[in-house]
């Protein structure tokens, strides 16, 4: 199989076979990443630009390191230090970057659909590093890779996603991808943070964390996204932690060998207790390593595609 997509914009329309192909490629890339010599010529002669309109540590740094480990010429643009501050539109910024011989543009933007808008107006491949509350495909891919690495496969697994589902592009991408790979996805959180369409896309919705956690193979906590929220969606952080936070007692409802994930950054003592974050079942740090491997795989596949094809919406 070859990867013929021009862009990676989301997992909604990506096939199970394409997802597995990306994960298989990432396995090879992780071998390189964890070796003594991380320098490879896979992207020699290629130009990668990260264009971030929102703050990021893990996603941005992992893309930049992935580019450098594979020999690409890389540059990064922050909106607060660019011509965006002078009123330049996203399309014009994209076209400017495109005309500089860029092969891949990685974009993070607060507007849903921004990655697709950019992809439709540039020749370069576009990778969505998070667009508004829509999707975050590379995070979901690294989450699925981490699960597959720990469990062998996602088929037949029960995955419980707990927290701010409404604002989470990570949850959306994971639900699309995990269900395609055969997992059963349950979600739980405050009623005000559960969008009404979750069941329509295949997730099981529970009103309490306890119900969602029963016999779960994988438990994923989500960050409370205070920057996207309006007031009144839940009383206080303390109340949230009391009723929806993941602690050792609640996790006893999941299977004994359940693994714990979180996309980061974690609000310690809110979404997860410190004992859970640093516990033996936690693979949160491993997710960070796998994030670099996934992004190495995507950069490789998008710059090696044979011909141009449709984008991933």
Are 47 and 102 within 8 A, CB to CB?
yes
The pLDDT of residue 134 is: 95
The pLDDT of residue 86 is: 56
Cα(293)–Cα(28) distance, integer angstroms: 8
Cα(272)–Cα(263) distance, integer angstroms: 12
The pLDDT of residue 80 is: 67
The pLDDT of residue 239 is: 84
Cα(61)–Cα(63) distance, integer angstroms: 5
If the chain, 313 residues long, is cut into consecutive pieces of 10 residues, what is the mean pLDDT of each piece? 91 97 97 92 96 92 96 87 68 95 96 97 98 97 98 98 94 97 96 88 93 98 70 72 93 98 94 96 98 98 66 47
């Amino acid at each position: 199989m070859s990867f013929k997509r021009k862009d990676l914009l989301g997992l909604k329309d990506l096939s199970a076979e394409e997802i597995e192909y990306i994960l298989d490629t990432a396995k090879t890339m992780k071998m390189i990443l964890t070796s003594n010599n991380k320098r490879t010529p896979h992207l020699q002669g290629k130009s990668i630009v990260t264009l971030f309109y929102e703050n990021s540590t893990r996603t941005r740094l992992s893309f930049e390191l992935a580019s450098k480990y594979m020999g690409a010429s890389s540059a990064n643009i922050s909106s607060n230090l660019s011509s965006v501050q002078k009123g330049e539109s996203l399309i014009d910024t994209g076209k400017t970057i495109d005309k500089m011989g860029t092969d891949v543009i990685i974009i993070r933007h607060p507007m849903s659909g921004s990655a697709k808008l950019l992809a439709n107006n540039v020749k370069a491949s576009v990778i969505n590093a998070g667009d508004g509350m829509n999707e975050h495909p590379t995070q979901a891919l690294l989450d699925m890779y981490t699960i597959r690495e720990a469990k062998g496969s996602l088929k037949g697994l029960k995955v419980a996603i707990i927290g701010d589902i409404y604002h989470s592009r990570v949850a959306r991408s994971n639900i699309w991808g995990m269900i395609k790979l055969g997992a059963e996805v349950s979600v739980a959180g405050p009623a005000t943070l559960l969008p009404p369409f979750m069941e329509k896309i295949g997730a099981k919705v529970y009103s309490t964390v306890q119900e969602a956690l029963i016999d779960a193979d994988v438990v994923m906590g989500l960050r409370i996204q205070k920057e996207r929220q309006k007031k009144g969606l839940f009383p206080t952080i303390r109340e949230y932690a009391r009723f929806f936070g993941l602690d050792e007692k609640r996790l006893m409802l999941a299977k004994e060998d359940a693994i714990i994930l979180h996309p980061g950054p974690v609000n310690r003592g809110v979404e997860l207790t410190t004992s859970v974050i640093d516990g033996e079942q936690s693979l949160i740090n491993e997710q960070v390593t796998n994030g670099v491997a996934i992004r190495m795989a995507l950069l490789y596949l998008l710059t090696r595609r044979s011909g141009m094809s449709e984008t991933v919406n």
